[in-house]
Amino acid sequence: MKNLKRILIATFTIFINTSFAQTKNVLFLGNSYTGVNNLPLLTYNLALSLGDTINYDSNTPGGYTYQGHATNATSLAKIAQGDWDFVILQEQSQKPSFPPSQVATEVYPYAQILVDSIKSANACAEPLFYMTWGRKNGDAGNCASYPPLCTYDGMQGRLRESYMEMSADNDCSVSPVGAAWKYVRDNYPAIELYSSDESHPSINGSYLAACVHYASMFRESPVGASFISAVTAIDAAILQEAAELVVLDSLSTWRIGDNDVVASFTSNTVSGSTAFFENGTNGTTYSWDLDDGSTETAASFSYTYANDGTYNVELIATNGCDSDTVTQQVTINTTGISENTLEVIVYKVQNDYTLTFTNSTPRKLQLYDTKGGLLQASSSNQSEVKIILPQAGMYILHVVENDKSAVIKLFND
C-alpha cells in the first residue's frame, strides 16, 4: 500500500491529468449528507479541474430514505429521464447501521426498487451506492438498543456491511466514501471531517466524498485536482490521495468494473482446423475478424484457414452498453484446406450426450471448458459416441474427422 505521508509537503503541487477527457451524466439521490456543502457541485468542479465533465441533477430532501425516494414523484421523474450514466444512491445515515434483520426489511427492499427503476429507465445506467460514515462518537440515541452503534468503528462496520450486501444483491458498485473516511480518521485524525453536530460532513468531509465519487465513476485519480474549495492545500492533497488509495487500489472490492465487458478468447488447432473459444466476461454478442477476409459472430466456432501463416485475429465483444476489443496472433503451421463442417446428430438424456455420426471414420474428440482448458481427449471410429460431462456447467466439444470439423456446445444442468 502507498504511504500517504509522502504528500505532507509545504506546497501543493498541481499535476497535469493526461488521460482523455470524459463526460458523465449523474443523478444524486440522497438527503442532507449529499445536499450540505452542495456535494454535486463540489464533484462537478473537481472533475472539471481534472479535464472531465459532469452533467448533474439531484434530489436531496432532508432526512430522506431509500423508501422515501422509491415513492417520491420528483425522484422517480428524474430517474425516468433515463439519460444517466450513474445514479448515486445515498440512504439515510443511520438506517443501514441498524441490526441486519431490521435493515433487511427497512432498507434492502427499497434499494432494489430504486435499482429496478433505474435499470427500467435505462439498462445501461449504473446505480452507485454511496457508502456513508459512522457518527463521530457513535449513535448515542440507539446505543442502548444495539451496542455496535455505541462507537464510530462499530457503526462504520455495520454501514460497510450493509452497503456491500446491497451492492452484491443488486449487482451494483459502491462509492466507498465511508471507507475513505475511516482511512483518514485512522491516519490523519487532525483533519476534521465532521461538522459541529458530529454527523454531517464539514467541507473537508464533503470534499473527500467528492474525490471518492470522482474516482469511483471515472476510475481516475483525483490527485492533482486544482479545485480544492475551502480545504487547505495540504489537507486537499491528503484527501485526494486517500480517495485514490481506497478506490483505485481496490476496484474489485467495491465491485467497480464487475459489469464491464472484457473480450478474451483462446484457440486450438488440430489437423488444420482451429477452434476459437470466447472466454471473456459480460459479452452477449461477438464480432470476429479472422484476418483473411472472413468474419464470424458465434461465441465459439471452428474454422479452417486456406493457407499457413500468422493471423491477427480480432474479437469485439459487446453487451448493448459496453464493448471491448482484443487481438491475438494465431499461427497456422499446417497447410489448411477449405472449411468443411462435420455432420453430427446430438442427443441429450438428462445430462448425458450421445453423438451419432454418418460413418465409422476415425475422428478425434476434445472436450474443453469455457476458458479453453482441455479436459478430455480421445479418438473413436464408432458411429455412436457417448459423452459424460464432469460437473455442472457449459463445455465445448471439438470434433475433427479428416478434413471436417465441428464445435459443439454441451451443457450439464
Domains observed in the chain: 4-248 (3.40.50.1110), 265-412 (2.60.40.10)
What's the pLDDT at 334?
66
Half-sphere exposure in the Cβ direction for 240 (13 Å, CA): 28
Residue 53 to residue 343: CA distance in whole angstroms: 56
The per-residue pLDDT for 5 is: 39
Of the candidates 364, 411, 363, 407, the residue with the CA atom closest to the CA atom of residue 390: 411
What is the rounded distance in angstroms from the CA atom of residue 42 to the CA atom of residue 54? 11
Indicate the angle between helix axes 177-187 and 203-218, nearest 10 degrees: 130
Q: Which of 259, 387, 395 is nearest to 323 (CA)?
A: 259
- pLDDT score at 149: 98
Q: Is the pLDDT of residue 341 over 80?
A: no
pLDDT digits (tens, 9 = 90+) for 347-384: 888 778 888 888 888 888 888 887 677 888 888 888 88
What pLDDT does 15 receive? Answer: 38
As beta bridge partners, residue 353 has 348, 387
- Would you place residue 397 in the very low, low, confident or very high pLDDT band (cuts 50, 70, 90)? confident
Looking at the chain, the whole-number percentage of residues with pLDDT higher than 90 is: 69
Burial (0-12, 13-18, 19+ Cβ within 10 Å), 405: buried
Give the pLDDT mean for 186-211: 99
Enclosing H/E stretch for 214 = helix 203-218
**Burial class (CB within 10 angstroms; exposed 0-12, middle 13-18, buried 19+) of 23:** exposed
292 vs 348 pLDDT, higher one? 292
Q: What is the pLDDT of residue 19?
A: 57
pTM of the model: 0.81
**Bridge-based pairing state of the strands 295-296 and 285-289:** antiparallel
pLDDT of residue 13: 37
Give yes or no for a contact between 367 and 397, defined as CB atoms under 8 angstroms apart. yes
Dump pLDDT digits (tens) for 114-156.
Answer: 999 999 999 999 999 999 999 999 999 999 999 999 999 999 9
Convert the pLDDT of each residue in 234-253 to its tens digit. 999 999 999 999 999 999 99
Residue 101: Cβ within 10 Å count: 8
Mean pLDDT of the chain, nearest integer: 91
φ/ψ of 400, rounded to 5, equals -125, 125
Query: Tens digits of per-residue pLDDT, 147-194?
Result: 999 999 999 999 999 999 999 999 999 999 999 999 999 999 999 999
User: What's the rounded mean pLDDT across residues 391-413?
Assistant: 82
Q: Which helix (H) or strand (E) holds 243?
A: helix 233-243
Please give the average per-residue pLDDT across 380-390, as a whole number.
87
Does the pLDDT value for residue 6 go beyond 70? no
Q: Among 205, 128, 121, 194, which residue's Cα sits nearest to residue 166?
A: 128
pLDDT for 11: 35
For residue 377, which phi and psi values (nearest 5 degrees)? -140, 135
Residue 279 has pLDDT above 80, yes or no: yes
Tens-place pLDDT, residues 33-63: 999 999 999 999 999 999 999 999 999 999 9
Strand order in the sheet with 126-130: 53-59, 23-29, 86-89, 126-130, 173-175
User: And the C-alpha cell for 261?
Assistant: 465487458
